[in-house]
Structure 1
Amino acid sequence: MLPPTPPPGGPGGPGAPGAPAVPPNLDHLLLGAADLEEGVAWVAERLGVEAPFGGRHGNLGTANHLLSLGGDIYLEILGPDPEAPPRDEPLPFGIEGLAEPRLVTWAARGTDLAALVARASGRGVPLGPVRPGSRLRPDGSELSWEITAFTSVLHDGLVPFFIDWGTTPHPARATPPGGRLISFRAEHPDPAAVRSTLESLDLALEVDEGPEPALVARIRTLDGDETELR
């Protein structure tokens, strides 16, 4: 259990001045694990609830479990799909090499991603191509979206990729609750560089100085306690 949440960064405080406790266009947090079930157990130990199976990303060799964090925000636990055939390509975000589960990046909501990518490129931030994505739900239905390239995630995952759900209902609305996200921030040895990139993408995220890159999510559990995921 953690002490009560401190005020977000602002004048006289750490991080980007005036950064909100939770970025307004935060879509979901990605927690990677080298073993999917280990990731589910790791989260359950901290939040007190087991995330149900979400689905498989057939073309990526991964699968996920999901928990809602309030509103249109959710936690995605991403790991290798134990039923996927062997593949030569590395998994997204290098999750197969993680020593323990951790937050590897986050997704920001966007629309007209092609225009967003072009605008970012003009500001010197490469987001890579826009690609379609999909996964199969346990009931056999397909969830689809568009995203900017995973390979374009910058500053060790502290700068997100973008996702557009189009006409697909947002997954958080049909996902069991795991708690409520009350703050989300980043740490980096060079916070000014990270802030500069985020500002170029019109993203507001508190970035503090820290010994190594990290994302920090503070969550109020269903029991009313507060805990951190990193």
Structure 2
Amino acid sequence: MSDPCLDHLVYAVPDLLAGVEDFAARTGVTPVPGGSHPGGSANYLVGLGATAYLEIIGPDPAAGPGAPPRLFGLETLTEPRLVTWAVHPEDLDGRVRQAREHGYDPGDVRPLSRVKPDGSRLDWRLTSREEAAAVRPVPFLIDWGRTPHPAASGLPRLRLTSFAASHPEPDSVRHDLAALGVDLTVTTGPEPALHAEFETPRGTVTLV
């Protein structure tokens, strides 16, 4: 994966604290709390560079029973899975127009936010598509605006050594990636999947 606009990878887990504990045991690196999202989810983060990170997201342990998690299919998730990824183009709105002109609609741009553990709020904009796919090889677009990038907050770091996707119809994915102006290796596979390999204190670790 050579696209310089990589923003973050999203690793969804059915139990957030258990998922973080397992990740720390496998890699030797302990993720740090990112914060809570409206809707009942929360995340932990690991840096992948100055402007890139891995997000571990799951149901918010502090959320009440009236706040079901809605992001990334967390309601039905039964095992950890690398579900999607994001890129941060210099001009989000311009990239959306470009993609639509080339036959791919990345979805509408909408604002989101989350509250950090220190009580401060992060605000950003991203593209959002309504789709049932559990794994999304084509990334969404994100713009942090004036908000400091999460990777710049002193996160513990790992090195991402490879990132790729597989799909039953790889040519369709390659078409959509090209429309977005994004580079990613896509091979043929039985189902949509993302594959990330990391160099860690405990050796090579792969997430799918």
Would you call these one fold, judging by a TM-score over 0.5?
yes
Deviation at 1:45, TM superposition (A): 2.6
The TM-score with structure 1 as length reference comes to: 0.83
Give 2:175's aligned residue.
196
In structure 2, relative to structure 1, the CA distance for the partners of 1:199 and 1:128 (3 Å cut) is same
Q: What amino acid does structure 1 have at the position aligned with 2:70? A: L
Answering whether residue 44 of structure 2 is matched by residue 44 of structure 1, we say no
The yes-or-no answer on 1:156 pairing with 2:156 is no
Partner of 2:2: 22
Residue equivalent to 1:5: none
Report the CA distance shift for 1:82/1:88 in structure 2 as closer, same or farther (over 3 A): closer
1:97-143 per-position Cα deviation (integer Å, ceiling 9, x unaligned): 12211100001112432332233222221222111111111111111
Give the match's secondary structure for 2:75: helix
Alignment counterpart, residue 97 of structure 1, candidates 76, 88, 91:
76
Q: What's the TM-score once normalised by structure 2's chain length? A: 0.91
* SS at 2:130 equivalent: helix
Question: 1:196 and 1:153, CA in 2 relative to 1: closer, same or farther beyond 3 A?
Answer: farther
Q: Distance in 1 between matches of 2:65 and 2:104?
A: 34
Percent sequence identity is 48
Note the C-alpha offset of 1:83.
Answer: 2.1
Does the CA-based 8 Å contact 2:72-2:134 persist in structure 1?
no
Report if aligned partners of 2:9, 2:55 keep a CA contact under 8 Å in 1. yes
- Between the aligned partners of 2:80 and 2:154, the Cα distance in structure 1 is 21
CA distance in 2, matches of 1:136, 1:201: 30
Partner of 1:156, secondary structure, is coil
**Of 186, 204, 208, the match for 1:226:** 204
Superposed, 1:1-230 pairs within 5 Å as 21-57=1-37, 59-87=38-66, 91-149=70-128, 151=130, 156-223=135-202, 225-230=203-208
Match of 1:97, SS? coil
Instruction: Give the Cα separation in 2 of the matches to 1:125 and 1:90.
Output: 28
Specify every segment of 5 or more residues in structure 1 that has no aligned partner in the other structure, as ranges.
Answer: 1-20
Change (3 A) 1:70 1:177: same
2: distance between equivalents of 1:126 and 1:205? 18
Output the CA distance in 1 between the equivalents of 2:22 and 2:129: 24
Deviation at 1:72, TM superposition (A): 1.6
Larger deviation, residues 158-167 vs 76-85? 76-85
Question: Using the alignment, how far apart are the partners of 1:218 and 1:82 within structure 2?
Answer: 28
SS of 1:98 mapped into structure 2: coil
Question: Structure 2: any 5+ residue segments left out of the alignment?
Answer: none
Contact 1:147 1:162 in 2 (8 A): yes
What value does the CA root-mean-square deviation take over the aligned residues? 2.1
Q: 1:104/1:28 Cα in 2 relative to 1: closer, same or farther (>3 Å)?
A: same
Change (3 A) 1:123 1:180: same
Letter in 2 for 1:162: L
1:28 counterpart letter in structure 2: H
SS in 1 for 2:123: strand
User: Offset of 1:46 from its aligned partner?
Assistant: 2.2
